Amino acid sequence: MAIETIQQRFSDRLKTRRSEHLYRQRPLAFGPQQPQMQINGLCCINFCSNDYLGLANHPQIKQRLIAALQNDDISYGSGAAHLVTGHHLEHHLLEDELADWLGVERVLLFSTGFMANLAVLETFAQKGDVILGDKLNHASLVDGALHSEAEFKRYPHGDMTALEKRLQQAQAKEQQAVIVTDGVFSMDGDLAPLPEIQELARKYHAWLIIDDAHGFGALGQEGKGTLNHFNLETDCNTLQIGTLGKAFGCSGAFVAGSETAIEALIQFARPYIYTTASPQLNAVAVRQALRLVKSADKERRHLQELIQQFRQGAQQIGLKLWSSPTAIQPVMLGASETAMRWSEELKQKGFWVAAIRPPTVPQNQARLRITFSASHTVEEVDALLQALDEIHRQESSAKV
């Protein structure tokens, strides 16, 4: 390979990405995270946040943080990794409370969900093992699998026949199989068929890793997630991974599992061992958020009502929806250019909705990724549907 500058390596690639309507830019938000926001100077209603329960700007969390700041026992920075001096009492209490909530032996905190997924897969999937991952798994699960020393095979999305075939192949080779799946798929919004996956895992003695970033808080009794939504129980060969920056409205992530599994991460997971602990104040905020999550049945019901309202209205308009029962509602548009155009037109009408394009989603499956929060109102959803109807009519007229 020829010696080159950074400019030479990336200039043409950046131009190509822009010409293919795949260029990414960071929108600049002003004010707190909530449905009514100012983004890039536009006053708009935000329909692309993962703040499913509306906790990101909740007054009780703010009040708890103000009280904590007045406490001499709390600093903002943790100062070191958990294994040095960074593991504060607030972190420890939060881990215990999360474990009690989920009914597992232990929970371990991480700074981000991406880091948690890397740590789990690098640690548990070892040379000679095989990771079996759903084709639509989150990028962090894919990267974690690629960074491990295990063989990595992907099965078609939600295809249990294909998964069982791969499990049979692993069994014939005497390989330890590790099944990895999202609980709620972040771009499609559909649920993994966890009852069937768990049955196959137990039948073939496979380990099961579930990234439930978009399930915890929004689904299940007390928001306990996708496993609970399906009335399933965890076991010693199952790990659940959750983020605290979505339904919890805070930051960070956690891994929930057995005593042995958590101790293995503490001892062997490089992304855990060599990372500064998250701020003490974030643990304070999450502990308050957990109380709100557990008692948020009214908010979860309202969220489901908004989802049904949108799906019924979108179908009447004639929009192409995905089969999603969750707060993630993709409107399928196909071409990246079309998705960008719809997104821009919605912004001009006062709605912030992200256009999702390859490589985040497959080619020719560009979409609007509309997400709902319990903080949204019926009137705001009606207004969004009206705006979508206007754009759809304009597009249809232009094609005639």
Separation between Cα atoms, residue 99 and residue 388, nearest integer Å: 42
Is 230 annotated for ligand binding? Answer: no
What is the reported pLDDT for 72? 76
pLDDT for the residue 397: 74
Ligand-binding annotation for 24, yes or no, is yes
Is it the case that residue 338 has pLDDT exceeding 80? yes
**Average pLDDT along the chain:** 95
Does the annotation list 113 as a binding residue?
yes
Q: Give yes or no for a contact between 206 and 200, defined as CB atoms under 8 angstroms apart.
A: yes
pLDDT at 291: 98
Region 1-27 average pLDDT? 91
pLDDT given for residue 73 in this prediction:
84
Predicted pLDDT of residue 71 = 80
Structural domains of the chain, with CATH:
30-53+297-399 (3.90.1150.10), 59-294 (3.40.640.10)
Other C-beta atoms within 10 Å of 123: how many?
A: 21
What Rg do the C-alpha atoms of the chain give, in angstroms? 22
pLDDT tier at 213, thresholds 50, 70, 90:
very high
**Residue 210, both tokens:** 């579930």
Interatomic CA distance for residues 43 and 41, integer angstroms: 7
* Cα Dmax for the chain: 69
The confidence score (pLDDT) of residue 1 equals 66
Q: What is the mean pLDDT of residues 201-220?
A: 98
Query: Is 390 a residue whose pLDDT tops 70?
Result: yes
What pLDDT is recorded for position 21? 85
Residue 230 above 60 pLDDT? Answer: yes
194 φ/ψ sector (left φ>0, alpha ψ -120 to 50, else beta): alpha
**241 touches 254 (CB < 8 A):** yes
Q: Is 58 annotated as belonging to a binding site?
A: no
- Calculate what percentage of the chain has a pLDDT beyond 90: 90
Sign of CA dihedral 47, 322, 220, 143: negative
Torsion, CA 357, CA 361, CA 362, CA 368, rounded to 10: -50
What angle in degrees, to the nearest 10, is found between the helix axes of 160-172 and 194-203? 20
The pLDDT tens digits for 65-116 are: 999 988 878 888 999 999 999 999 999 999 999 999 999 999 999 999 999 9
| Digit-coded pLDDT (tens) for 281-333 | 999 999 999 999 999 999 999 999 999 999 999 999 999 998 899 999 999 99
- Does 360 show up as a binding residue in the annotation? yes
Q: Which residues are catalytic?
A: 186, 214, 246
β-strand pairing of 177-182 with 130-134 = parallel
Per-residue pLDDT averaged across 178-194, rounded?
97
Model confidence at 22: pLDDT above 90? no
CA 98 distance to own-chain centroid: 18
Mean pLDDT of 168-194: 97
- Phi/psi at 230 (5° precision): -90, 10
Give the CA count within 13 Å in the CB-facing half-sphere of 41.
0
Cβ atoms < 10 Å from Cβ of 360: 16
The reply to whether 214 sits in an annotated binding site is: yes
Q: Is 326 among the annotated ligand-binding positions?
A: no
Query: Are the CB atoms for 157 and 362 separated by under 8 Å?
Result: no
Residue 394 has pLDDT above 90, yes or no: no
What pLDDT is recorded for position 180?
A: 98
What is the predicted pLDDT for the residue at 2?
84
Give the pLDDT score at 211.
98
Question: Is the Cα dihedral 268, 271, 277, 279 positive or negative?
Answer: negative
Q: Both tokens of residue 112?
A: 């981000």
- Are 223 and 217 spatial neighbours (Cβ–Cβ below 8 Å)? yes
Check whether 400 has a pLDDT greater than 60.
Answer: no
Name the band, by pLDDT with cuts 50, 70 and 90, for residue 56: very high
Asked if residue 229 belongs to a known ligand binding site, the reply is no
